[in-house]
A = this chain, B = another copy of it.
Amino acid sequence: MARLTLTDDDLRVRKWLANELQKLDCSLHVDQMGNMFARQAGQLRSTAPMIAIGSHLDTQPRGGRYDGILGVMAGLEILRTMKEHGYKTQFDVGLVNWTKYILPAFIASSGLELIVLTKFSEEGARFPKSMCSSGVWAGAIRIQDAWNLRDIHDPSVTLRSELERLGCLGNVECSSNANTGFPLAAHFELHIEQGPILQETGRSLGVVQGAQGYRWLKFTVHGRDAHTGTTPFGSRKDPLLSAARMIAASKDIAEIHGALASTGVLAIPPDSSTNTIASEVTFTLDIRHPHDSVVHTVQDECLKTFSQIALQDGKGVTFDWTMDTDSPAVKFDKDCVNAVRVAAEKLVGPDQWMDMTSGAGHDSVYTSKRCPTAMIFVPCRDGVSHHPEEFCRPQDCALGTQTLLEAVVEYDKFMAGKCSVN
């Protein structure tokens, strides 16, 4: 699936979705970032914010058919099922289609900042910055910054001009503000795991507790270029050798702490050659753990060990580093998570579900800043996502959807109970 956000393809699926939602007597609201909110009335006819099921229908330039799409389709199916069975929740419930993949893949946000991943602009993204409309909704990203993003292929096109052209620039403020925006009582999201854990442990459902904290560091190791044939080991300042030892050490350190440390990018000067020691090496280090304190410990130990490694070979190297992203861990709402757990336990019993922590970014990470949030993971084949081979078995899609339905019903009852107690 290649359905880039705010393209004609995206518009077609938005129109289809709006039409399906109308058949279900939902009221439809579009905000100023094109986020679609469908609302189905509950028995109480309460004006309180709705309990939302949300995800996104847009995809990576070369994505799969499940990432995001499963979550929205599940929400639609749940609203249909409720209508078909004449079942009405106490509070209003509804569906959100977030405008997500303004940039493809690995959208990362750090607190209140946009993370610029310029490299993605080479991969077919339309706009040169990474952001989420759920981030604008949550107040983490300024709408003007989002609107001003320009199409990398045609700088005369901005995100706002595309929203206008497609008729997706709604009149609702993109925020959770109770008076001017579209606040939510809760946000539930069903998503493929995007990792191999459920498949490898033979589980059907993941009850997501929150999102890992992570830090992205970038290291530059400085050495001196020298001829490999004429320069003895003792005379060298070899930054690639030192970087290799650092990368190996970071994995070993992270493993001791049950954390992750990964190097995805390593770059040497373009004029490098087989018989020349590189002058400089740059590499990234991505450290993750569900607890921020462990992320910090791994970072500290890596820095200490790297300093020792820098002196280990030849005449030694120097290095400096920057922190490009600092994304603290997110903990989802305990009552929302509990609603998912109750549903999972009921549907598959104690051995078939497990607690998990999300390793990837999701709209739910943003919504959790403004409303009680939880997520459900279902297995995907070999953990592959953002790829045409992405696959989730039909029975897993169905089981995830059923869990989502029952979690929403559970949470609706929980809210109603709280009200009656109050």
Residues of chain A touching chain B, judged by Cβ–Cβ distance below 8 Å, are 105-106, 108, 117, 119-120, 122-123, 193-197, 200, 212, 214, 216, 226-233, 235, 238, 240-241, 243-245, 247-248, 251, 254-255, 260, 262-266, 268, 270-278, 284, 286, 288, 313, 324, 358-360, 383, 385-386
User: What's the minimum C-beta distance from A116 to chain B, rounded to whole angstroms?
Assistant: 12
In this complex, which of A105, A254, A263 has the most chain B Cβ atoms within 10 angstroms of its Cβ? A263
Contact yes or no, A230 B195, CB < 8 A: yes
With A245-B244, A245-B248, A273-B105 as known contacts, state yes or no: A231 contacts B359, CB within 8 Å: yes
Q: Which residues of B contact A238 (CB under 8 A)?
A: 262
Report how far A365 CA is from B219 CA in the complex, Å.
Answer: 41
Contact yes or no, A271 B385, CB < 8 A: no
Contact yes or no, A268 B265, CB < 8 A: yes
User: What's the minimum C-beta distance from A240 to chain B, rounded to whole angstroms?
Assistant: 6
Contact yes or no, A230 B264, CB < 8 A: no
Q: Which residues of B contact A383 (CB under 8 A)?
A: 226-227, 230-231, 235
Q: Which residues of B contact A262 (CB under 8 A)?
A: 228, 238, 275, 277
Report how far A106 CA is from B368 CA in the complex, Å.
Answer: 58
Contact yes or no, A273 B119, CB < 8 A: yes
Contact yes or no, A266 B264, CB < 8 A: no
Task: Name the one of B200, B214, B275 contacting A229, with C-beta atoms under 8 angstroms.
Answer: B214
Contact yes or no, B232 A195, CB < 8 A: yes
With A230-B359, A230-B360 as known contacts, state yes or no: A263 contacts B240, CB within 8 Å: yes
User: What's the minimum C-beta distance from A317 to chain B, rounded to whole angstroms?
Assistant: 13
Q: Which residues of B contact A195 (CB under 8 A)?
A: 226-227, 229-232, 235
Task: Name the one of B122, B216, B244 contacting A248, with C-beta atoms under 8 angstroms.
Answer: B244
With A228-B260, A360-B227 as known contacts, state yes or no: A241 contacts B233, CB within 8 Å: no
